[in-house]
Structures are given as C-alpha cells and as structure tokens.
C-alpha cells in the first residue's frame, strides 16, 4: 500500500526485512544495520510491528541515530503491549474501557473477572486481528480461554468488561501527523462478536464526533506515537479507548478512501 503510494509520488523507498535485521557495532560505537539485501541507508522509516522481532528492535534503535522513525521504538513497543498501553492511557487521563491486568493464573483471573462482573473479555497482552482475545460469559469459559492461551507461553492477562451496548462494533480512527485523518465503523459478521476485518467484519467510512477525534488524538499522543489506529467504543458514558495500534492495517480502508495511503506516506517523511 505505502509502496504503491511511493511509486505514484516518485518517493524512493527500500523494503526492510525485519526478521533478518542485524546490527554491527564498532569499537568506537558506530553502528551498521543490515538485512538480507545488505546495509540499510535510509532517511525515514514507516511504522512497523515490532512484537515477535526482537533483533529488529535493536536495529531500529540504531537506525534512529540517523533516520526519522515515524513511531519511536519505545512507543511502538508500548502500543504492542495492551497492559502497558492501558497503564500509559491511565497516567495521561485518557478515558478508556476499564482494564485489569493480572498474572497468567486461573485463580487471579477468576477473582478479577468476578470483581468486574461477567461477561468479560480476556486477552493476552500481545496479539493482533482478534487473536488471543476471548469472551467469557462465566468462570468455565474463562478457564477454557486460559487453556487456549497457555501454549503461547508466558504473558500477563488483560481483563475488561464487555461493553454490551456496542457489542460487535468498534470505531477505528487513524491518527497520523498529529491529526485524525480517517475513520471507519466496523461491524462483526454473523455470530462473531470481534469486529476485526480479518475475521469478516464489514466497515463503513464515518465522521467521528469532535470528542471521538480528540480522544483518538490524545491516545496516540499519550503513547508517544506519531501514527496509530485507535479503537474506540461508544458507551453510555461517552467514547472510550479500547486499544491503540502502532501499525494499524489501513489496507482494507483503501477501497473506501483511495487517498489514504498518500496521506500516511506524507506523514512518514521527516
């Protein structure tokens, strides 16, 4: 998507192979960053998902010495972590869905869920496109969710109440360059309650309220991001942040907003 926009606007670009990033440090501390295509010499780096690529984190830190990273490394890592995101949003006073973080322990999770009140939504701290997110209507379903999560290894758990008045829907607001530039209302398909497009959800372009736009802008700023996608739920108490994504999938929005890639591309450049 961004590559096509770069071609259209005659912006030179170089794909970076995150899994193969290596950093070579000399005795005087100079750093050379390479991937399978060789040394990387760029002036700006578009947002990327860092979770799952531990060496890439160090590679991007080294690149940041001489290149503009649209999303700083630390901000991207926080956005990839749902628990860390909730903590920073809370510190900044950004209204969000009430969130409880507990150890990966059935008794701790059960106690938290009982305090929240069923149904609850339980998540691993990392995951995308609705993966490792489950709805639990009772203690048995909560235990089953933890059993499904266990093979993925250690993780804290995030528990939230289900916002029943907006069940199966989310408002996705794209913020780039410090301003909201696009938004879509996503609606889950059939019996699916998660409103991820990757899981079959439909979406329509909408105009958020001023309050929703400001909420999204504040959420991205609280995490230190320059580009992000904010999932907002409309509640009886007003809009609330559900999650923040440092590298939101905007590809599905392009058929509805053809100029969106160019808008994001321009914001990627220093």
Give CA separation, 181 vs 94, 120, 140, 207, 253, in Å: 20, 32, 42, 10, 12
| 8 in a structural domain | yes
Whole-number pLDDT of residue 99: 97
Domain shared by 249 and 179, yes or no: yes
Domain shared by 153 and 179, yes or no: no
Question: Any idea what the CATH number is for the domain that residue 115 is in?
Answer: 3.30.1490.20
* Count of domains forming the chain: 3
Each residue's pLDDT, cut to its tens digit, for the chain (270 residues) gives: 788 888 888 989 999 999 999 999 999 989 999 999 999 999 999 998 888 888 999 999 999 999 999 999 999 999 999 999 999 999 999 999 999 999 999 999 999 999 999 999 999 998 776 678 999 999 999 999 999 999 988 899 999 999 999 999 999 999 999 999 999 999 999 888 889 888 889 999 999 999 999 999 999 999 999 999 999 999 999 999 999 999 988 888 999 999 999 999 888 887
Whole-number pLDDT of residue 50: 87
Alpha helices in the chain (DSSP H): 2-8, 54-63, 73-80, 82-92, 106-116, 139-149, 210-223, 260-268
Q: Which domain holds residue 193?
A: 165-268
> 162, 192, 208: which is the final residue of a domain?
162
Whole-number pLDDT of residue 131: 74
| 195 in a structural domain | yes
Domain shared by 131 and 217, yes or no: no
Provide CB contacts within 8 A for 242, sequence distance 6+. 96, 97, 160, 170, 231, 232, 233
Whole-number pLDDT of residue 130: 66
Provide CB contacts within 8 A for 9, sequence distance 6+. 262, 265
């Amino acid at each position: 998507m961004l590559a096509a926009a770069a071609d259209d606007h005659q912006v030179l670009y170089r794909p970076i192979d995150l899994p193969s990033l290596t950093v070579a440090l000399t005795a005087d501390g100079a750093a050379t960053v390479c991937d399978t295509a060789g040394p990387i010499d760029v002036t700006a780096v578009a947002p990327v998902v860092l979770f799952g690529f531990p060496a890439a984190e160090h590679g991007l830190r080294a690149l940041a010495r001489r290149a503009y990273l649209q999303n700083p490394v630390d901000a991207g890592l926080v956005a990839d972590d749902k628990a860390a995101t909730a903590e920073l949003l809370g510190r900044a006073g950004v209204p969000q869905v009430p969130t409880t973080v507990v150890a990966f322990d059935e008794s701790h999770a059960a106690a938290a869920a009982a305090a929240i009140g069923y149904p609850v939504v339980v998540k691993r701290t990392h995951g995308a496109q609705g993966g490792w997110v489950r709805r639990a209507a009772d203690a048995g379903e909560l235990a089953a969710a933890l059993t499904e999560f266990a093979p993925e290894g250690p993780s804290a758990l995030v528990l939230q109440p289900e916002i029943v008045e907006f069940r199966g829907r989310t408002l996705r607001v794209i913020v780039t360059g410090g301003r909201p530039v696009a938004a879509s209302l996503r609606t889950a398909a059939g019996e699916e309650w998660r409103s991820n497009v990757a899981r079959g959800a439909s979406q329509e372009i909408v105009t958020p309220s001023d309050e929703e736009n400001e909420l999204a802008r504040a959420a991205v700023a609280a995490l230190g991001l320059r580009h992000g996608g904010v999932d907002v739920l409309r509640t009886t108490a007003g809009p609330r942040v559900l999650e923040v994504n440092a590298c939101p999938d905007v590809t599905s929005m392009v058929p509805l907003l053809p100029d969106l890639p160019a808008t994001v591309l321009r914001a990627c450049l220093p």
